[in-house]
Structure 1
Amino acid sequence: MSKVLLVHAKGGPPLGYVLNRAAARAEVHLLALSALPSSVAESAGSLCASVVTPGEAERADLVSLIVSRARAVGAEAVLTCSEYAVVAVAEACEQLGLAGPGAAAALARDKRMMRRTWRQHGLPQPEFRPVATEADLLEAAAALSFPMLLKAAWSAGSTAHQIIREPHEVAAAWQRSRQVMAESAQLGFAELHVAEANAHFVVEEIVTGTASAWFEEPGWGDYVSVEGVVADGVFHPVCLSGRMPTVEPFTERAGITPALLPEEAQARVVDLARRAVDALGLDNCGTHTEIKLGADGRMWLIETAARFGGAMTVPQIEEVFGLDLVGMLVDQLLGRPVDWPAEALTPEHARGAAGSLVVLAVDGSGAAWPDRRNWDFPVVRENVPLAAGSRLSVVAESSLPDGTPVPVYDPAAGANTMAALCLLSATDAATVLRDFAVLIAALPAVLPPAGSVPAGPTVPAEGPAALSAARPEGVPA
Structure 2
Amino acid sequence: MKCADGSYARGTVHEARTILVVSATHRDHREIRRLFPSGIDFRFHDYASTCLEELITGNEREGDRAEDPHIEVGRILAGLDGTKVAAVVSTDDYPGAALAAIIAQELGLPGPDPRAVLIAQHKYLSRLKQVEAVPEAVPPFFLIDTAEGAELPEERCFPLFVKPVKSFFSVGAEKVASRAELVALLPRWRNCDEFFLPLERMLERYVGGGIGSERLIAEGVLEGVQVTVEGYAFGGRATVMGVVDSIMFPGTIAFSRFDYPSRLPEDVQARMADIAAKAMEALGFDNGLFNIEMMYDARSNRVSIIEINPRMASQFADLYEKVDGTSSYRILLDIAEGREPRFTRREGRHPFASSCVLRTFEDKIVARLPGEEELTHLEALHPDIRVELHGQVGQKLSDELQDGHSYRYGIVNLGGHDLADVLAKFEAVNAMLGIVLIPAEASERPSGAELAVAAG
Same fold (TM over 0.5): yes
- Partner of residue 310 from structure 2, selected from 272, 288, 306: 306
How far apart are the structure 1 equivalents of 2:91 and 2:450?
A: 29
How far apart are the structure 2 equivalents of 1:178 and 1:58?
A: 20
- Partner of residue 395 from structure 1, selected from 381, 387, 396: 387
Whether 1:18 and 2:63 are equivalent positions in the alignment is no
How far apart are the structure 2 equivalents of 1:192 and 1:413?
A: 24
- Partner of residue 119 from structure 1, selected from 112, 124, 131: 131
Q: What does 1:131-210 correspond to in 2, within 5 Å?
A: 131-134=144-147, 138-139=151-152, 141-142=153-154, 145-177=157-189, 185=195, 194=202, 200-209=215-224
What does the per-residue CA deviation read over 1:404-448, in whole Å, with 9 as the maximum and x for residues that have no partner? 443399986368x432222233322354357668999x99x9834
Question: Judging changes above 3 Å, is the alpha-carbon distance between structure 1 residues 205 and 59 closer, same or farther for their aligned structure 2 residues?
Answer: closer
Question: Judging changes above 3 Å, is the alpha-carbon distance between structure 1 residues 391 and 32 closer, same or farther for their aligned structure 2 residues?
Answer: same
Question: Judging changes above 3 Å, is the alpha-carbon distance between structure 1 residues 145 and 409 closer, same or farther for their aligned structure 2 residues?
Answer: farther
Q: Which structure 2 segments of 5+ residues have no match? A: 1-13, 51-64, 204-209, 375-380, 440-444, 452-456
How far apart are the structure 2 equivalents of 1:234 and 1:174?
A: 40
Amino acid at match of 1:161: A
Match of 1:286, SS state, is strand
How far apart are the structure 2 equivalents of 1:248 and 1:10?
A: 34
Deviation at 1:330, TM superposition (A): 1.5
Deviation at 1:251, TM superposition (A): 3.9
Whether 1:425 and 2:415 are equivalent positions in the alignment is yes
What does the per-residue CA deviation read over 1:345-397, in whole Å, with 9 as the maximum and x for residues that have no partner? 57x977233222333322xxxxx47xx35364449x99xxxxxx98896634x
Q: Aligned-pair RMSD on alpha carbons?
A: 4.2
1:62 aligned residue: 72
Q: Whose Rg is larger?
A: 2
1:360 aligned residue: 359
Question: Judging changes above 3 Å, is the alpha-carbon distance between structure 1 residues 455 and 304 closer, same or farther for their aligned structure 2 residues?
Answer: farther
Amino acid at match of 1:96: L
Question: Judging changes above 3 Å, is the alpha-carbon distance between structure 1 residues 6 and 333 closer, same or farther for their aligned structure 2 residues?
Answer: same
Work out whether residues 226 and 237 of structure 1, in 8 Å CA contact, stay in contact via their aligned partners in 2. Answer: yes
Q: TM-score, normalised by structure 1?
A: 0.70
Question: Judging changes above 3 Å, is the alpha-carbon distance between structure 1 residues 399 and 455 closer, same or farther for their aligned structure 2 residues?
Answer: farther
- Partner of residue 330 from structure 2, selected from 323, 327, 331: 327
Q: What does 1:247-326 correspond to in 2, within 5 Å?
A: 250-294=253-297, 295-310=299-314, 312-326=315-329
Match of 1:106, SS state, is helix
Work out whether residues 7 and 80 of structure 1, in 8 Å CA contact, stay in contact via their aligned partners in 2. Answer: yes
1:461 aligned residue: none
Deviation at 1:332, TM superposition (A): 2.4
What does the per-residue CA deviation read over 1:198-246, in whole Å, with 9 as the maximum and x for residues that have no partner? 953211121222xxxxxxxxxxxx2111111111221111111111116
Q: What does 1:2-17 correspond to in 2, within 5 Å?
A: 2-9=16-23, 13-17=27-31
Question: Judging changes above 3 Å, is the alpha-carbon distance between structure 1 residues 256 and 136 closer, same or farther for their aligned structure 2 residues?
Answer: farther
Match of 1:296, SS state, is coil
What does the per-residue CA deviation read over 1:59-85, in whole Å, with 9 as the maximum and x for residues that have no partner? 662333344445732112111111111
Question: Judging changes above 3 Å, is the alpha-carbon distance between structure 1 residues 17 and 392 closer, same or farther for their aligned structure 2 residues?
Answer: closer
Match of 2:43, SS state, is strand
Amino acid at match of 2:391: L
Larger relative contact order (CA 8 Å, sep ≥ 6) = 1
Q: Which structure 1 segments of 5+ residues have no match? A: 37-54, 210-221, 363-367, 383-388, 458-477
Which range moved further: 264-273 or 222-231?
264-273
1:104 aligned residue: 116
Work out whether residues 137 and 170 of structure 1, in 8 Å CA contact, stay in contact via their aligned partners in 2. Answer: no
Deviation at 1:401, TM superposition (A): 3.1
2:8 aligned residue: none
Match of 1:274, SS state, is helix
1:463 aligned residue: none
How far apart are the structure 2 equivalents of 1:439 and 1:359?
A: 11
Deviation at 1:339, TM superposition (A): 2.1
Deviation at 1:158, TM superposition (A): 0.1
**Alignment size in residue pairs:** 400
What does the per-residue CA deviation read over 1:84-114, in whole Å, with 9 as the maximum and x for residues that have no partner? 1111221222222211011411122111111
What does the per-residue CA deviation read over 1:11-51, in whole Å, with 9 as the maximum and x for residues that have no partner? 68443213443565633222222679xxxxxxxxxxxxxxx
How far apart are the structure 2 equivalents of 1:161 and 1:225?
A: 17
Amino acid at match of 2:140: E
1:128 aligned residue: 141
Question: Judging changes above 3 Å, is the alpha-carbon distance between structure 1 residues 136 and 272 closer, same or farther for their aligned structure 2 residues?
Answer: farther
Question: Judging changes above 3 Å, is the alpha-carbon distance between structure 1 residues 375 and 235 closer, same or farther for their aligned structure 2 residues?
Answer: farther
How far apart are the structure 2 equivalents of 1:170 and 1:143?
A: 10
Question: Judging changes above 3 Å, is the alpha-carbon distance between structure 1 residues 246 and 14 closer, same or farther for their aligned structure 2 residues?
Answer: farther
Deviation at 1:317, TM superposition (A): 1.4
Question: Judging changes above 3 Å, is the alpha-carbon distance between structure 1 residues 326 and 421 closer, same or farther for their aligned structure 2 residues?
Answer: same
Deviation at 1:287, TM superposition (A): 1.0
1:75 aligned residue: 85
Question: Judging changes above 3 Å, is the alpha-carbon distance between structure 1 residues 390 and 245 closer, same or farther for their aligned structure 2 residues?
Answer: farther
Amino acid at match of 1:18: I
Work out whether residues 22 and 326 of structure 1, in 8 Å CA contact, stay in contact via their aligned partners in 2. Answer: no
- Tell me the percent identity: 20
1:471 aligned residue: none
How far apart are the structure 1 equivalents of 2:232 and 2:313?
A: 11
2:58 aligned residue: none
Question: Judging changes above 3 Å, is the alpha-carbon distance between structure 1 residues 88 and 401 closer, same or farther for their aligned structure 2 residues?
Answer: same
Work out whether residues 235 and 278 of structure 1, in 8 Å CA contact, stay in contact via their aligned partners in 2. Answer: yes
